[in-house]
Amino acid sequence: DAGVTQSPTHLIKTRGQQVTLRCSPISGHKSVSWYQQVLGQGPQFIFQYYEKEERGRGNFPDRFSARQFPNYSSELNVNALLLGDSALYLCASSLLNGEKLFFGSGTQLSVL
Amino acid sequence: AQSVTQLDSQVPVFEEAPVELRCNYSSSVSVYLFWYVQYPNQGLQLLLKYLSGSTLVKGINGFEAEFNKSQTSFHLRKPSVHISDTAEYFCAVRHSNAGGTSYGKLTFGQGTILTVHP
């Protein structure tokens, strides 16, 4: 079975632009979570979605938004990019009550 | 609120030597505890988890961790490391009473880079 897949793997944007990152969970997983990992730090929770509804939100500005589709895939959108948004963005999927998160390899976003 | 502190940012060790990566957490509620490993240019892979029961938890690749509630610690150990264990290791916590709304939310530590030398 395929694992969690994220696209694109790398992305370069300039300040002020908007970006959309995509995630496909493991088949059968209905929950998707997004994390931001800045170089040298641990991942920080951004959002969790389950059954197309937001179930949790971390301490991120409103420039960050996400959604989940009927097939449980998800998109993370970031508007008005700042240099500080440069990071590895990780998507993780899990079963409804699963204690185990399965992570994708991430999207490396560079904001110039 | 929860927080996780990994006490060592880098741990160098020689091959076949034992290693301990330290993790302390702070939480006002009961938690589940996890260790993840991240190899270069890859996502996170679960090594082991503590949910309840025995405080000594065994994971993949010969790693184990011990939950100490009184010291709020969850240190990761391996009796003999290999070159292939070189990676970054993250300790993480999650509310044990997720109520279905926070099971995707982990709080991670800053990471410990383990470098195994020949």
CATH number, position B111: 2.60.40.10
| Res A44: pLDDT | 96
| Residue A41 pLDDT > 80 | yes
| CB-nearest partner of A42 from B32, B104, B111 | B111
Range in A7-16, A24-33, B25-34 the model is least confident about: B25-34
Total domains present in chain B: 1
The nearest CA of chain A is from the CA of B27 a distance in Å of 17
Mean pLDDT of chain B: 91
| Res B97: pLDDT | 66
Q: Residues of A with CB below 8 A from B42's CB?
A: 105
| Res B101: pLDDT | 56
Number of alpha helices (DSSP H) and beta strands (DSSP E) in chain A: 0, 11
| Residue A2 pLDDT > 90 | no
Residue A45: both structure tokens together: 């929770």
pLDDT digits (tens, 9 = 90+) for B73-118: 999 999 999 999 999 999 999 877 655 556 678 999 999 999 999 9
| Res B24: pLDDT | 97
| Res B98: pLDDT | 56
Residue B29 · residue B96 · CB < 8 Å: yes
Number of alpha helices (DSSP H) and beta strands (DSSP E) in chain B: 0, 12
A90 contacts B101? CB cut-off 8 A: no
Q: Residues of B with CB below 8 A from A66's CB?
A: none
pLDDT digits (tens, 9 = 90+) for A53-107: 888 899 999 999 999 999 999 999 999 999 999 999 999 998 876 668 899 999 9
CA distances (Å), B6 to each of B27, B45, B98, in order? 15, 18, 24
- Domain with B51, as residue range(s), is 3-117
| Res A55: pLDDT | 86
Spell out the residues 6+ positions from residue B10 whose beta carbon is closer than 8 angstroms to its own: B112, B113, B115
Please give the span between the terminal C-alpha atoms of chain B, in angstroms, as a whole number: 41
pLDDT digits (tens, 9 = 90+) for B6-57: 999 999 999 999 999 999 999 878 889 999 999 987 889 999 999 888 889 9
| Res B100: pLDDT | 54
A45 contacts B45? CB cut-off 8 A: no
Q: Residues of A with CB below 8 A from B109's CB?
A: 42
| Res A51: pLDDT | 84
Residue B97: both structure tokens together: 């009473």
What's the CATH code, domain A5-105?
2.60.40.10
**Cα angle B50-A26-B67, degrees, rounded to a multiple of 5:** 5
Buried/exposed B58-74: b ≥16 CB within 10 Å, e otherwise: ebeeebbbbbeeeebbb
| Res B47: pLDDT | 96
Task: Tell me how far apart the alpha carbons of residues A72 and A95 are, in angstroms, rounded to a whole number.
Answer: 11
| Res A1: pLDDT | 59
DSSP E strand boundaries for A18-106: 19-24, 31-37, 44-50, 53-57, 64-68, 74-78, 87-94, 102-103
